[in-house]
Amino acid sequence: MSLKKITSHKMFLPVFCMILVLCANMIYDASQGSDFYEFFKVGITNGYLSGRLVNILNRGSETAILAVGMTLVVSASAGTDISVGSVMALCASVCCVILAGPAAPQATELAAPLIVGVLGGIAIGALCGAFNGALVAYLNIQPMVATLILWTAARATGLLVCNNLIVYVRNDTFGILGGFIGMFPTPILVAAIVIAAVALLLKLSAMGLYVQSVGINKKASRIAGLNSKRIIFLCYLLCGVCAAIAGVVASSRITSADSNNIGLNYELDAILAVALGGNSLGGGRFNLAGSIIGAYTIQAITTTMYNMKISTAVTPVFKAIVVIVIVAIQAPPVKAWFKKLSARNASASAKGVANA
Amino acid sequence: MEDNVVLTMRGICMTFPGVKALDNVDFTLRKGEIHALMGENGAGKSTLIKCLTGINDFEAGEIHVDGVEGKVKNHSTLDAQNVGISTVYQEVNLCPNLSVAENLFIGREPMTPFHTIDRRTMIRKADELTKRLDIRVDVTQNLENYSLAIQQMIAIARAVDTNCKVLILDEPTSSLDDSEVEKLFRMMTSLKEQGVGIIFVTHFLEQVYAVCDRITVLRNGTLVGEYPIADLPRVKLVAAMMGKDFDDLADIRPEGFTSHADAEMVIDAKGLSHKGTIKPFDIELHRGEVIGLTGLLGSGRSELARAIYGADKAQTGTLKVKGKEVKINHPIDAIHLGMGMLPDDRKAEGIIGDLSVRENIILALQARMGMFKQMSRAKQEEIADEYIKVLQIKTASRETPISQLSGGNQQKAILGRWLATDPDFLILDEPTRGIDIGTKTEIQKLIIQLAGEGKSVMFISSEIEEMLRTCNRMAVLRDGAKVGELDGELTQERVMSAIAGGAKE
């Protein structure tokens, strides 16, 4: 395979970014006198799997789950759902309030079976997704504006549901979702299940074709017999469900519903994951695997910063720099510049050969 | 410049990316004449007007206006007004919640010495102006209290009051009813007598003959000619707009015309309509029949087909498919009833650009099967390969994005998409536009072949020859309504005079 073929492959960008982050880790580890493969070490601490890689997969679960829904939304509607972070908070609140029951805000026993709370949260997420979808698909409101409503309203509603308190559900059964099954981190499993379910749906049904077709040309898709509006609606619905699952996992991690902080700014990570995955934010063709790798890359960047003992206050700055570099690499003028540069090198080396 | 000429445009050229919109166009307007600017959609009428009013920047050519030294090049509509060129568009661009007087003088209100608006003077002047133009209104009333025709006239009054030598009316009558049109024409005639040169752009042939003195015809961005109205009867005007000449047209009606009146009725529409695009129409179609829809571009021929297919949902009337009354809300309903439609705008409504040829071909069939019954990849490839072979689609592979194919091959792929659904009734809207002659012939042959297999085809084309070659029957459309049907011996002359609407069939 020629170099050009590799660089033009759809998985090139996400994988390249991932490798870049890994290299940074290895160089840093080596310079600190540790083994250069420190990053990949998986150990067992206090009976749980530990290590940086495990940590990244664990912590990146929520972003990965969100990225799944976001990929579909971007593809079908050429817009982004910026409400996912707030919807996470709302769904977490609903789930916790159901589980805490009358004992809120300090519950230690589950007032309802775990599954009821989880399904309650997911139902609210679906409702939020349906709301967004209806605005975008049927009322033709721009996705950014339509989802801006829940971006502000969902988090506030979450606070309202919790009566403006942090609702604690200090219960081991609830803690499992964000904790461990045996020695294995549960969020990784949850993310894997969501990804597998959506991948299976795309593989076994014609949904992938429908979504991309609508995203590329809504009018032509309609003439060809697709219900463009319903497909866009469905994508937002699915995105809402993904946000709910991510929200429940996030609240289980801290065994409480902290509506002010759960999912804060996650919508940006999710959108970034889709972009890093090599997906055009203009809709159309999508690459789900790319988005997921993008999501874990973002988490890897964050974890690397912690590891390098960079203060959490300045982490966003470094993250921004990394993002600028990654996004700049795929900008057309930069690509053109690289092309020119390599052409000049080629001609220079040719001249060198001639002189020799 | 001749004495009575107010406007000359010479050698105007204008290019949009990839298209020559105007190629060396001349236009002359004399004092006190109403001059129709005619042409089919895309002929360059609007572009020419926009070059004149400063909205478009033309590349070559010059414009001279009576009373202005040297060449005129406008950069905005304000520039144009300053040299005496005013435009009134189809939509009234006035403020309905202001009074008539305010609307007439907005932006140039008479002032008192204290720099406030001198309402008394404004109302007096507005009154004088409307009286002079014979518009009977109370100028202190809000504009919204008057009919659209009056509003249109107020817009014209405003335009002509600013020292106007050239008045451009761009489709001013399309939202007016007959009596309102009558009023507008009276006003145009009176302005003409006052020496204003009027450029009148319209799609309605009748109206041209009712008020105009002269006609300039454009086609595909080039000038066809300028004619006094008496020298250009309707049929010749249509011929000029479409680029046909009666004398050198050979009669190419194929032999073997057969009647299909006994065959099973596939489509039976009664009183279908879509507001604003097509007035209520009846149409019948039998098994194995090819019906042609003919008329000028914009006459409603695409819209008629779209109303049947559900692309624009029909708002009135009933539709029977094979004798059963049906309701079509979306194209997918039509597909389930065995219909298919190849739309005229291939790029906007036909191809899904970034999807592969394979995906484009199987799309409609997959849509009919439903989302959860995905065709296997092997089946998809088999279907795609079949139609690539049958229709001789030239593509690097079946996985090539369709946008990389040439127009003709894209069109064939879309045809393949519908053939794959094995439809009983296929609408082909301009299937041969912009594709090479070889492919055109193939598509025409295909239509005849499909009819032979017992399918019904509705065929729309701007090229009368290919309709004559393939159709059993033709429906004629004019100004958004179906005005008649032609069967029996179809000849070019009959069709064109039917389009022009001169003699009744």
Looking at residue B17, its pLDDT comes to 66
A254 located within any domain: yes
Q: Count how many domains chain A has.
A: 1
Looking at residue B504, its pLDDT comes to 43
Q: Nearest Cα to B269, choosing from B21, B456, B504, B31?
A: B456
Chain A residue closest in CA terms to B309: A223
A16 located within any domain: no
Per-residue tokens: A41: 């070490």
pLDDT in tens, B51-107: 888 888 888 888 888 877 778 888 887 788 888 888 887 667 788 889 999 988 888
Maximum separation of any 2 CA atoms in chain A, in Å: 87
Looking at residue A351, its pLDDT comes to 58
Q: How far apart are CA B129 and CA B17, in angstroms?
A: 44
Q: How many CB atoms lie within 10 A of CB A216?
A: 23
Q: How far apart are CA A16 and CA B300, in angstroms?
A: 54
Q: What is the DSSP string of A23-54?
A: HHHHHHHHHTTS-TTGGG--EEETTEEESHHH
The helix (H) or strand (E) run that includes residue A347 is helix A332-355
Alpha carbon B174 to chain centroid, angstroms = 12
Chain B residue closest in CA terms to A203: B374
Q: How many CB atoms lie within 10 A of CB A301?
A: 21
Residue of A204, A206, A227 lying closest to B332 (CB–CB) = A227
Strands A106-107 and A167-169: parallel
Cis peptide leading into B343, omega within 30 of 0?
A: no
Give A228's contacts in chain B (Cβ within 8 Å).
none
Residue of B349, B371, B373 lying closest to A220 (CB–CB) = B349
Q: How many CB atoms lie within 10 A of CB A112?
A: 12
Count of alpha carbons within 13 Å of B266, Cβ hemisphere only?
A: 25
| Structural domains of chain B ordered from first start | 5-232 (3.40.50.300), 266-500 (3.40.50.300)
Report yes or no: A233 at the B interface, CB cutoff 8 Å: no
**Could you give the C-alpha distances from B12 to B9, B17, B50, B77, in angstroms and in order?**
7, 17, 12, 18
Give B363's contacts in chain A (Cβ within 8 Å).
209, 213, 221, 224-226
Torsion of CA B486, B487, B489, B492, to 10 degrees: 30
Q: How far apart are CA B458 and CA B309, in angstroms?
A: 11
Smallest CA–CA distance, residue B321 to chain A, in Å, is 18
Give B341's contacts in chain A (Cβ within 8 Å).
223
Angle A30-A34-A37 (CA atoms, 0-180°, nearest 5)? 70
Chain B residue closest in CA terms to A200: B372
Per-residue tokens: A5: 């073929």
Contact A209 B375 (CB under 8 A): no
Residue of B331, B359, B370 lying closest to A209 (CB–CB) = B359
pLDDT band at A354 (very low <50, low <70, confident <90, very high): low
Phi–psi pair at B329, nearest 5 degrees = -100, -35
pLDDT in tens, B260-299: 667 788 899 999 998 878 889 999 898 888 999 988 777 8
The residue type found at A54 is: V
Per-residue tokens: A333: 């003028």
Phi–psi pair at A9, nearest 5 degrees = -65, 145
Report yes or no: A226 at the B interface, CB cutoff 8 Å: yes
Q: Nearest Cα to A237, choosing from A199, A211, A203?
A: A211
Q: How far apart are CA B259 and CA B449, in angstroms?
A: 17
Beta-carbon contacts of A46 under 8 Å, excluding residues fewer than 6 positions away, are none
Chain A contact probe: residue of B371, B375, B402, B415 with most A CBs at under 10 A: B371
Q: What sign has the CA pseudo-torsion A29, A33, A36, A40?
A: negative
Give B359's contacts in chain A (Cβ within 8 Å).
209, 213
Q: Give yes or no for a contact between B361 and B413, defined as CB atoms under 8 angstroms apart.
A: yes
Q: Nearest Cα to B219, choosing from B48, B17, B34?
A: B48
Q: How far apart are CA B310 and CA B314, in angstroms?
A: 7
In three-state secondary structure terms, B286 is: strand
Contact A223 B348 (CB under 8 A): no
Q: How far apart are CA B29 and CA B6, in angstroms?
A: 6
A37 located within any domain: no
Q: How far apart are CA B184 and CA B188, in angstroms?
A: 6
Burial annotation A58-74 (CB, 10 A radius, 16+ → b, else e) = bbbbbbbbbbbbbbbbb
Contact B371 A210 (CB under 8 A): yes
Angle B322-B327-B331 (CA atoms, 0-180°, nearest 5)? 95
Q: Give yes or no for a contact between B203 and B298, defined as CB atoms under 8 angstroms apart.
A: yes
pLDDT in tens, A5-16: 666 677 877 888
Give B353's contacts in chain A (Cβ within 8 Å).
216-217
DSSP β-bridge partners for residue B12: B25
Q: How many CB atoms lie within 10 A of CB B119?
A: 16
Q: How far apart are CA B278 and CA B133, in angstroms?
A: 35
**Could you give the C-alpha distances from B269 to B298, B322, B332, B334, B396, in angstroms and in order?**
21, 11, 18, 14, 43
A351 located within any domain: no
Q: How far apart are CA B458 and CA B449, in angstroms?
A: 14
The helix (H) or strand (E) run that includes residue A127 is helix A114-133
**Could you give the C-alpha distances from B504 to A177, B19, B178, B292, in angstroms and in order?**
80, 39, 21, 19
pLDDT in tens, A33-81: 888 787 888 888 888 888 888 999 999 999 999 999 999 999 999 999 9
DSSP B145: G
CATH code for the domain in which residue A230 is found: 1.10.3470
Looking at residue B248, its pLDDT comes to 37
Q: How far apart are CA B468 and CA B465, in angstroms?
A: 5
Looking at residue B334, its pLDDT comes to 94
**Residues 30 through 89 of chain A touching chain B, CB cutoff 8 Å:** none
Per-residue tokens: A187: 């969020």
Report yes or no: A224 at the B interface, CB cutoff 8 Å: yes
Q: How far apart are CA A154 and CA A146, in angstroms?
A: 13
Angle A108-A110-A116 (CA atoms, 0-180°, nearest 5)? 150
Per-residue tokens: A49: 């799997």
Q: Give yes or no for a contact between A295 and A56, defined as CB atoms under 8 angstroms apart.
A: no
Phi–psi pair at B474, nearest 5 degrees = -130, 140
Q: How far apart are CA B63 and CA A105, in angstroms?
A: 80
A67 located within any domain: yes
Beta-carbon contacts of B251 under 8 Å, excluding residues fewer than 6 positions away, are B491, B492
Per-residue tokens: B12: 């105007």
Q: What is the mean pLDDT of residues A266-286?
A: 88
Beta-carbon contacts of B403 under 8 Å, excluding residues fewer than 6 positions away, are B351, B353, B354, B410
Contact A212 B366 (CB under 8 A): no
A219 located within any domain: yes
Q: What sign has the CA pseudo-torsion A65, A13, A303, A311?
A: negative
Q: What sign has the CA pseudo-torsion A31, A35, A39, A43?
A: negative
Residues of B with CB under 8 A from a CB of A: 311, 330-332, 335, 341, 343, 348-355, 359, 363-364, 366-375, 417
Smallest CA–CA distance, residue A133 to chain B, in Å, is 19
**Residue with tokens 């079946």, as numbered in its chain:** B398
Residue ranges of chain B with per-residue pLDDT less than 70: 1-3, 17-19, 41-42, 90-91, 174-175, 244-261, 434-438, 502-505
In three-state secondary structure terms, B320 is: strand
Phi–psi pair at A76, nearest 5 degrees = -80, -35
The helix (H) or strand (E) run that includes residue B223 is strand B222-228
Q: What sign has the CA pseudo-torsion A31, A34, A35, A36?
A: negative
Smallest CA–CA distance, residue A235 to chain B, in Å, is 14
Looking at residue A349, its pLDDT comes to 62
Residue of A207, A216, A224 lying closest to B367 (CB–CB) = A224
Smallest CA–CA distance, residue A339 to chain B, in Å, is 23
Q: Nearest Cα to A106, choosing from A160, A179, A165?
A: A165
Q: How many CB atoms lie within 10 A of CB B372?
A: 10
A183 located within any domain: yes
Full domain range(s) for residue A276: 60-328
Q: Give yes or no for a contact between B273 and B315, defined as CB atoms under 8 angstroms apart.
A: yes
Evaluate if residue A28 carries a pLDDT over 80.
yes
Give B348's contacts in chain A (Cβ within 8 Å).
217, 219-220
In three-state secondary structure terms, B272 is: strand
Q: Nearest Cα to A238, choosing from A132, A117, A116?
A: A132
CB pairs A-B closer than 8 Å = 74
A214 located within any domain: yes
pLDDT in tens, A125-175: 999 999 999 999 999 999 999 999 999 999 999 999 998 889 999 888 899
Contact A225 B355 (CB under 8 A): no
The residue type found at A69 is: G
Q: Give yes or no for a contact between A136 and A79, defined as CB atoms under 8 angstroms apart.
A: yes
